[in-house]
Structure formats: structure tokens, C-alpha cells
Structure 1
Amino acid sequence: MTQHTTPVRDPRLGRIIAATPAAVAGVVLLLPSGLPDSDRRPPPLPDRRTRALARRLAAEGGTHGIAAHVVRYRCRGWNGDRADLAQDAAWAADEAVRRYGDVPVCLAGRGMGGRAALRTAGHHAVTSVLAVAPWLPEESTDAEPEPVRQLAGRQVMIVHGTNDERCDPELSFRLAERAKKSNRDICRFEVHSDGHALAQHRTEVLSLATDFVLGALLGTDFARPVTDAFAAPPPLGLRMPLASGFGRSLRH
């Protein structure tokens, strides 16, 4: 059995990216990946894919008043029922409200951070969620499924590579399929033949993620593929190809 000690560090927000506090129209909280079980401190810098999204948001969202923060977790692990990363994400949403007031918040997570983003979507300030290659628990008959009720009323986008060997893409499809029954504004894009890092189509994934975050926070039009995914009836929009030429056809 894995032994844990209570983390003693407090969560915190990294320095603001892309906006000044006096001009904030929306906040995106970037949630790095983590581990299933660990009380070790996170690395001092977020992974390079999280940094790349932060830089892209800074470049395209800064003039529109988008403030981006990387969430610094207390520890690296989800740690079972403690759900430490989700607790830290909820703290970060509270802190965004304290700092910036009544502005929309987007939770953008990768891997284990994607699970934290999805789990924390019910926070009153959160209006949208981006989950990239989310780590989700295996489904079993003797355990409660990953919750989806908290996604109601939120705009949600999941992006997952079909060849992800670290985080099973079938699990994110099943979650999206369940959530779609009560939330029309959820879509899931598959990146054909790409793995967990989504490195093969990095530029396209980054563009899609940025377009979604900025559109959700600013209330502007999404790119056509996202619009089509939101508009389509179930189960369309759950296995949307990311772009013509490298996505997979819709499965009915």
C-alpha cells in the first residue's frame, strides 16, 4: 500500500502572463500534469507543453485582457480520494476570484491536470474547461465512474491522441459520451496516430487549444471545427477529427 504524508506546502499561482491586473477580462489557469501517487514537490518549472500554451495565450490574448497563471501544486500526486490536484485547482479558482473579481475562468489541464480541470469544473467562477490527453481512472463495476455532473453549463473541449499509451483515449471518449447527455457544449477531438505528447501535430493542437480558450473567455466566435462540434447532436462532436488530413472520420 502506498504511504502518504500530508503536504505542508501551500498551492500558489505562478506569475501573471499576458495581462495586467487592472485590465483582466478573463483568467486561464494552466494545470500541469502530475502522477497518480506522490507527495513529492512538483518541479520548479512546468512542463514545456504547458509553457508553450502559456506563451501562445500571452501572444494572442494579452491585448484582450486575458490573464494566464500556471498553478503550482502542493505535491505531484492525485493521491486517491485526497484528489490533491483537484483541491489545488479549486483553490486556484478561488484565488482568481479574489484577485480579479467576477471574470470568467477557464481551467486548462494536461494529463493529470486534465483530470483536475474536469473534476473542478463545478466551481462557480469556471465557465470553460480544456482537457488535453487527460489521465482518467480505469472504469470498473465496483467503483463510481468519474463524475460529469459538474460539467453542466460549462463549455468543455477534450483533445486526445489515438495512440496515447499513457492515458487511455477510450476513457476520455466514455466520459465525454456520458457528459454529452446533459451538456451539449462538450466536444472531443481525436488526433489520429498521435501519442500522449501530441508532438506530431503540435502546432495544430496548440492553435485549437488557444482558439477554444480565448473564444470561451472572451465570448468570441470559435473556429469552424469547434462550432460544428458544439452544434452537432450526440454522439457527433465526441470523436471529431482535429483537422482535415490527419484526423479520424466521425464514428456514429
Structure 2
Amino acid sequence: MPVSDPRAPLPPALVLDRSVRRPRTAVLLLHGGRSEGMEAPPRWNLAAARMRPFTRSVLRVTEGHDVLVGRVRYRHRGWNGARADAAVDAQRALDELEELAGAVRVVLVGHSMGGRAALAVAGHELVRGVVGLAPWCPAGEPVEQLADRRIVLVHGDRDRTTDPLGSRDVVRRARAAGADTCAVLMTGGDHAMLRRAPEWHTLTSELVAGLLGLAPLPGPVRRAFEEGLDPATSD
């Protein structure tokens, strides 16, 4: 079996889906993964495939607004405990984006493990907002890095993989730490975001547009930020 050379340069963590000459803002998408797994994500990766419709929705809603759109490439399939590999790669992608485009405002969109990674790196100076889709939020996850960010976590009430209560706990503690944040419950939604898929895609694109300042935020989310309360459901 060939052994990789530890001195070899790392592959870029930033993969572009739309490059613009002078981007004003940017959106990075982060797909899910596994709790453990040192192998590289396979070429055909279901977790990555789940995010493609979201990428298309984001591309549509940001068309003509000088918004760079990209995704994070992981070196490993899993989070891998204290290594936090997905967060390390997300941080690298943000650093590469800053080198490429300068001080652009960034919104991160992450599903499951990708949601955990997005929250973990939200303290990066480029990041202004995070949309977490069925995010993996273990008990006691740090929230101090979310101060002064706008965070929306969307969770289906039929999710049996990650706990919607974890999203609510992060939102509660992040709000106390100084974030504008809320949790949205997608009634009937599952972890794979297949049930009510069009609603997942539409809500995500509306949240991205709102967090980038291209359009108003959805009314319930805007009121949640203003009042410090969570929308009860997304019907």
C-alpha cells in the first residue's frame, strides 16, 4: 500500500463553485461526515451529494450580486475526536478564501458534521453568519466564538441522527454569549433533509440572502433575532 508523503503540500481546502472577479461576499458550504474516519471521503459521497441542491439554491439566490460560492474539501471522512478534522479544513478554507478575495463577509452553510465545523470556526474574522442544517451539536460545545455573529440552526423534528435539543442548547448559550441566533424546527423534517426537501432548500436560500443583506430575512427569523425567541416551527 502506498504511503503518503507527510511533506507533500496539502490539497486546497477551498473548492469554488462560482468565482467572481471582485467578490463582495461569499458563501461556503460544508457537507456532513462521520464521528470517526481517517480515510478520505470517497469520490461518490452521499453526504456531499446531499448538499448539491443547496449549492444550486444558493447560486440562484445570489446570482448577479458578486457573491463567491464554494465548499470545503475535507481530508478525512470523520471528525475524529479532539483532532476536529472537519473544523481544521474549514479553517484552512477560510484562510485560503481570505488570501484569494481579501476581507469579504462570509456565510457558512453546514449540514450535520459540517454544521458542527461551521459553528466551530465561526470566530474567523471573515465569518458573519452560519446556517446550520441538522447540525451535530454535542453537549457542552463551545459557543464563545459565536459572539457578534448571526446564527440560524434548522432541525427536523424527525431527526434520529442528531438531536434537535442540541441545536436549541447551542442557541440558548450562544445568545447569552452575544450572538444573534435562533433555532427553527422543521416539522416533519428528517436528518437527510429528504422529507420536505423543497422547503429545506428554499428556507436555506432565504436565510443566506438575508444574512448577506441581499434580501430581508424570513419574518419569523427576523422577529426571533429582535425578540430573542425561537420560531416555533417552519410550516
TM-score w.r.t. structure 2 length?
Answer: 0.90
Counterparts of residues 4-19 of structure 1 (less than 5 Å): 9-17=10-18
Please state how far the C-alpha of 1:89 moved relative to its aligned partner. 0.5
Q: Which piece of structure 1 moves more, 119-128 or 194-203?
A: 194-203
Structure 1's 99 and 45: CA in aligned 2 closer, same or farther, altered over 3 A? farther
What fraction of aligned residue pairs are identical, expressed as a percent? Answer: 36
- Which amino acid letter does the alignment assign opposite residue 80 of structure 1? G
Q: How far off its partner does 1:182 sit?
A: 2.6
The correspondence of residues 30-69 of structure 1 with structure 2, limited to 5 A, is: 30-44=29-43, 47-69=48-70
The one-letter code sitting in structure 2 at the alignment partner of 1:89 is A
Partner residue, 1:241: 233
Deviating above 4 A after TM superposition, structure 1's stretches of 4 or more consecutive aligned residues are none
> Is 1:224 the equivalent of 2:219?
yes
Q: Does the aligned pair in 2 maintain the 1:12–1:72 contact within 8 Å?
A: yes
Q: Which residue does the alignment assign to 1:136? A: 137
RMSD: 1.9
Amino acid paired to 2:172: E
Instruction: Give 1:40 deviation, angstroms.
Output: 0.9
CA-to-partner distance for each residue in 1:165-198, whole Å, 9 max, x for gaps? 1111111111111111133510110012321122
Q: Which letter does structure 2 place at the counterpart of 1:75?
A: H
Gaps of 5+ in 1: 1-5, 140-144, 244-252
The answer to whether the aligner puts 1:163 opposite 2:158 as a matched pair is: yes
Trace 1:89-238 onto structure 2 (pairs within 5 A).
Answer: 89-137=90-138, 139=139, 145-218=140-213, 220-233=215-228, 236-237=229-230
Shift of 1:130: 0.9
- Partner amino acid for 2:70? H
Q: Distance in 1 between matches of 2:232 and 2:93?
A: 31
Partner SS state of residue 157, structure 1 = strand
Shift of 1:128: 0.6
Q: State how far apart, in whole Å, the 1-side matches of 2:60 and 2:42 are.
A: 25
